[in-house]
Amino acid sequence: MKNQLLTLLAIVFVLQISAQEKKSLSIDRVTKAPKIDGVLDDAAWQDAEIATDFIQFRPEMGVTLKEHQKTLVKMCYDDDAIYVSAYLKDKPEDIQKQITSRDNFGQSDFFLVVLNPNNDAQNDVEFFVFASGTQADAIATPGNGEDFGWSAVWDSAVKIVDDGWIVEMKLPYRTLRFSKDVETWGLQFHRRFRIDNTQYTWNAIDRTKGNIGLYHGELNGIKNIDPPVRLNLYPFTTTVFDNFDNPTYKIGLDVKYGLTENFTLDATLIPDFSQAAFDNLTLNLGPFEQTFGEQRQFFKEGVDLFNKGNLFFSRRVGSRPSRNLNLEENEEVVGEFPNEVKVLNAIKLSGRTKKGLGIGIFNAITEKTEVTVRKTEEFTNPDSNLTETIITNRREVVEPFTNYNIAVVDQLFNGNSSISLVNTNVTREGSGFRDANVTALVTDVSNKRNTYNIRADVKMSNRNLPGTENLETGFSSFFFIRKAHGKFRYSFDHSFSNENYNINDLGLNFRNNLNDFGIDASYTIFEPTEKLNNFSTGTFVNYRRLFKPSTFTGTNFGFWLNGQTKKLMWFGGNINFEPGKQFDFFEPRDFENKRFFVFKNIGNINGWIETNSNKTLSLNANLGTFHAFDSERDLFGYFLGVGPSILASDKLRFGYNFNYNNNKGSRGFANSSNNIEGEIVFGERDITTIENNLSGSYTFNPFHSVSLSLRHFWTKVVYDSRPYFLQEDGSLEIQPNTYEELGLDDSNVNFNTWNLDLNYTWQVGPGSFLTALYRNQLFESGTNVDDDFFRSLDNLFSQDMNHIFSLRLQYFIDYNQISNLFKRKNRAPNIGQGSVNKSNRAYYSI
């Protein structure tokens, strides 16, 4: 009886603790807004409720803040915005405050406000203020993580004081999507100490299960707020000098418009991507296309809904034309074949209702693109008996007027689950070009205790190919189930697609015709040990098959680990091994006949470290090797990288990265394989790669910065003198003759690229930027493999360098400011009132 009573009391105690875990904060309306200057002497703060008692969740859970680090947060609101003040106590010498550009964390402490107006635990808006005065913001969802491509315009100020630092923030309602009848919002505060890599929150977080949004506290008291007209205009002008020739000018406009309380329309009416960062080109020897991450701001921000199901690869919009020309021997394209298509305009409409229903529509239009084809014909004039040449030109459409569209419906439920329906569509004008459509049902479901999670996708693709009457229909599915709590976790997944599954008109899918299985297991410590802040290790096994014909293609297994020491040094490594014969159906490039290449017993191992980046000098390094345990071949390679970084001051940081890869005995498809009918030609090759990256930045203050990025990439591929023919059983048979004796082209490659970006950014006002960019670039690819690295570099710089200079001014206009300006003009003047916009002035206060 006594034991039962004790058990009952324990249960009651636990329930009481659980009930206390979700804190709440009441917020009051004020008649006079606080001045955003980092000085907490405003009347608005005097009687505001205090949020305090922050609790650590990383690296250790449950630790309270030390007395000299006490944190006091207050909030209030008016008809225009929500205001936040935070008194962040600390020893001044411990405060890390490297000055960086916007959205760049650097080595700085930060204070974070997380708001979830619909209190759905899954759609957060995050506002960061760093001890340096720099801002960052993001939208966050469990499925897509934090999207720092999203940017809002809001005010903040920081002041360093004798016992810590103070933050004040003004978060205008235009930065949020909310329904005025939702009075309880999700709320969380974070405080990060960079010196020891600890992070605390107002409401406690349990890292062992669930998504972070489930642990938000509550904000109560926001009433009778009419969301403002959310119309923001971003007019811009750009001037570009290419090789310092006559400049080109462009004037354009981006728009953000709140259609309703919760739905926003984003539009780029006259796009300008001239200052998008360059792509890191490499030599692509593989069977799949080379792809790059998105660099265009419009396509990077606010795309969380459109990424559902992984059907949207934004680089498809405006990419290389879809049509390849089949030219005769006496025909050629005049000039260079275009690498991209001009985007005429693009829009995004997205939002979520208070009941968790998300709706997203994306639409983009690209222009018709043509090239000139020149045909040269010779004939003998019977009258003069002389040979004459006739040159004719014609225009060929390589990409017609094209519309790209995505529609998404996503319903949230239980605070941790969702179900989505996604459709993508590409329509090209004219009968000679293909159209494409993909539909997907996507689910992500967790149980109420957040201990198990299931993800399942079903997708169907349809392509209307030119010259055919029937649709090419493909099917794909994915199933994933995992234990999502505790130190020991495990999962199982299955991926399937048939031969016709193809989403590459608007998505990205490297391969189809698969029937793959995977098992993963991991172990993680959530409480620091004597020497470690955190540590994780795991293992995995994958088993792969073709769907048609149903046949085994390969398997692999491995182990991994990563962690961080008490001295803030990160480390990790992994081992991967492919035992027995592996059947590669892609390297031969013969998908119609299902030809394959066999290799076996290849393994690799690598490790990496990253020292404490708070130090003046820090270092990241990696080292690895791979080998084929096969008596019939000698494959061995190794790779290494080293990257020192110097934090010279709170304003200046620069880093260098060097990567070297030496691959001996690699075997693969040779570029000349189409020159012998009926044979697929492979070659054994040695591949040497050297990559150098140099980057640096000097930030005068959060509004003025200069950055430099320089990259040189060199690869040399040297084939053995005698080629191999691929056999029906997937083996390779070496030929007695050289490539030249067989009439094959030289497959050797010497590949060189160089890029330099020098960028100056001035934030001339809230949301307004002046950016000056100087860029140069070089490219060379040939067969001069006798040249070493330095000779190849000399040859590269003997090429004509492409110089580009561009100047871009973007200005932020809030419709409400314009409206208020006209209202003020109709009022009597206020004697003694200055003409300076106080919120703008406060925005620059540090």
Last residue of one domain, picked from the residues 228, 245, 264: 228
310 and 206: one domain?
no
224 and 299: one domain?
no
Instruction: Give the pLDDT of residue 399.
Output: 94
Instruction: Give 531: exposed, middle or buried? Use CB within 10 Å, 0-12, 13-18, 19+.
Output: exposed
330 and 453: one domain?
yes
Q: Measured between alpha carbons, how far is 436 from 502 in angstroms, rounded to an integer?
A: 9
Instruction: Give the pLDDT of residue 81.
Output: 94
155 and 299: one domain?
no
Last residue of one domain, picked from the residues 510, 530, 561: 510
Q: Measured between alpha carbons, how far is 136 from 117 in angstroms, rounded to an integer?
A: 19
Would residue 685 count as lying in a domain? Answer: no
Host domain of residue 98: 23-228
92 and 207: one domain?
yes
Would residue 238 count as lying in a domain? Answer: no
Contacts of 383 (CB under 8 A, 6+ apart): none
Q: From start to end of 720-748, where are the E strands?
A: 724-726, 732-734
Q: Measured between alpha carbons, how far is 488 from 470 in angstroms, rounded to an integer?
A: 50
Closest CA to 302 of 144, 463, 444, 180: 144
Q: What is the largest CA-CA distance in the chain?
A: 124
Would residue 303 count as lying in a domain? Answer: yes
Last residue of one domain, picked from the residues 481, 510, 539: 510
Q: What is the pLDDT of residues 121-180, one digit of tens each?
A: 888 999 999 999 999 999 998 877 888 888 899 999 999 999 999 999 999 998 998 877
Q: Measured between alpha carbons, how far is 794 from 784 in angstroms, rounded to an integer?
A: 13
Contacts of 556 (CB under 8 A, 6+ apart): 541, 542, 576, 577, 578, 579
222 and 294: one domain?
no
Q: Measured between alpha carbons, how far is 500 from 502 in angstroms, rounded to an integer?
A: 6
429 and 307: one domain?
yes
Q: pTM of the prediction?
A: 0.87
DSSP 554: E
The token duo for 502 is 């193809």
- Provide the domain count of the chain: 2
The token duo for 534 is 């955190």
Q: How many helices (H) and strands (E) does the chain have?
A: 5, 44
Residue type for 653, please?
A: R
**3-state SS, one letter per residue, for 686-715:** EEEEEEEEEEEEEEEECCEEEEEEEEEEEE
The token duo for 196 is 């020891």
With pLDDT > 90 as the criterion, what percentage of the chain qualifies? 70
191 and 295: one domain?
no
Would residue 589 count as lying in a domain? Answer: no
Q: Measured between alpha carbons, how far is 534 from 835 in angstroms, rounded to an integer?
A: 54
328 and 410: one domain?
yes
> Which regions of the chain are under pLDDT 70?
1-20, 244, 468, 673-675, 819-846
Q: Could you tell me which residues are beta bridge partners of residue 769?
A: 763, 810
Neighbours of 326 (CB within 10 A): 6
Would residue 15 count as lying in a domain? Answer: no
The CATH number of the domain holding residue 41 is 2.60.40.1190
Q: Measured between alpha carbons, how far is 186 from 122 in angstroms, rounded to an integer?
A: 10
Would residue 160 count as lying in a domain? Answer: yes
502 and 358: one domain?
yes
Element (H, E) at 139: strand 135-141
220 and 293: one domain?
no
Residue 139: left if φ>0, alpha if ψ -120 to 50, beta else—which one? beta
Contacts of 834 (CB under 8 A, 6+ apart): none
For the chain, the straight-line distance linking the first and the last C-alpha, in angstroms and rounded, comes to 64
217 and 302: one domain?
no
Would residue 618 count as lying in a domain? Answer: no
Would residue 444 count as lying in a domain? Answer: yes
